[in-house]
Each structure stands twice: as structure tokens, then as C-alpha cells.
Amino acid sequence: MSAVPDPHRRAHWAFFRQWLKNPLAVAAVSPSSPQLARQMIAALPAGSQRVIELGGGTGAITQALLDAGIPPSALMVLELGEVMHQTLRRRFPAVNLHLADAVDVRRLAVESGFLDEAPADAVVSGLGLLSTPRSVQLAILGESFACMRPGGRFVQFTYGPTSPVAREVLDELGLDARRTSFTWWNVPPASVYVYQRLQSRGIPARPMGTRAAG
């Protein structure tokens, strides 16, 4: 009798297949390490209870969020890759999962009722923003902050030496960027960046349905 496939091994294989199909979008050849996932959780605002995740991948950060006490009903995850989305669906059936582009995050959060109870405390992202056009970065971060409460944070990991979000995007949205941690124990090594609104200005919400060119 054949053995039941290990879910983590199956997830890693699905991740690698996704990387083969689109290496620029996925960016890494292996899923996020447990240490990186812990560093992402440590960067959340204190007392976070509602979180949106962009680019769920194999679910390493999704699992860390649940382990940190985020209820499945208060966690919304977007994943654009169909194979990875199905992997997440099997692992986390109680989480609010969407097969969708990150630029649609606010529309989906509104239409699914995720924001009915309260805005999100944070958005965590595993997207490959380094290879993302600035116009799309602008749309993703603008829509993400439109889902968050005042003081909310956009938490992003990156494999590059500097912030993956362009300075022009930060200036237009009125955001501050800071690197909070770095880990060698990831393949490749990764940094965690936190983006927050500057206190002097807010971020105007884009009309839902508006998509940036690029």
C-alpha cells in the first residue's frame, strides 16, 4: 500500500513547480523558512487580530499567523497561482482564501465581508515586489492601506539589499520604510521591511475597480 504524501513535501514540490513556471514572480526556489515566518510575525503591530496575507505560497507564513493566535476567520489570504491556491485550500479550509491578484485586495475584502467587523491590523506580503512595476506596487500598497486601520503596517520580505518598494511609490503614498530584521537561514537570505503611513498625511483610497497600468 502506498504511503500518504507528506503535506509539507507536497507543498514544497508545488512551490518549486510554480517557480519553474514563473521565476520572476515567485523569486525564490524554496518556501519561506520558519525563522523568516517568525520575523514577519514579530513585525506585526502589538495586539494584531485581523490580518491579510498577499502571496500565501505554501502556507509557511499562514501557519505562523495562525500559530500566533490569528483566528482563521480573521485571516484573509490571496494567492495568484492556481496550484499553490489549491495547496492552501487543502491545508487551511477555514481561512478566507482567494485565487486572485493582490491589486484586488480591497475589492475582495469588501465583497467577502472581511472588513465588516473591523479593518485589518496589518497586511503581510510574500510578493516578489522587486520585479514588480512601480505602477503595480503603487496599486498594491494603496489598496492594502485602504484595508487597514490607522497605525496599520504593511510587512514585506525581500531578497534584495534594499527596500523592494520604489522611493517614488513611498513618496506618493506618504509611507515610511524600515528594515526590522534579516535572516541568513532562508534560501536565499531575506530581510523584513515594515511600511507605515507617515503621521502627517493619510493615503487616499482609490476607487474600487481602478487598476494601474503596467
**Tens digits of residue pLDDT in 26-74:** 444 344 567 888 899 999 999 999 999 999 988 999 999 999 999 999 9
Q: Any idea of the CA torsion for 31, 36, 190, 62, to the nearest 10 degrees?
A: 50
pLDDT digits (tens, 9 = 90+) for 94-125: 999 999 999 999 999 999 999 999 999 999 99
Cβ neighbours of residue 200 closer than 8 Å, sequence gap 6 or more: 174
Cβ neighbours of residue 82 closer than 8 Å, sequence gap 6 or more: 99
Judge contact between 122 and 150, C-beta under 8 A: no
At residue 189, does pLDDT exceed 80? Answer: no
- Check residue 182 and give its pLDDT: 53
Average pLDDT over residues 121-146: 96
At residue 170, does pLDDT exceed 90? Answer: yes
CA distance 41 to 35: 10
Judge contact between 18 and 26, C-beta under 8 A: yes
Inter-axis angle of helices 82-91 and 7-21, nearest 10: 160
Which sequence spans correspond to the domains of the chain? 7-197
Which CATH number is correct for 7-197, 3.40.50.300, 3.40.1010.10, 3.40.50.1700, 3.40.50.150?
A: 3.40.50.150
Average pLDDT over residues 151-160: 92
At residue 165, does pLDDT exceed 80? Answer: yes
- Check residue 71 and give its pLDDT: 97
What's the farthest any 2 CA atoms get from each other in the chain? 65
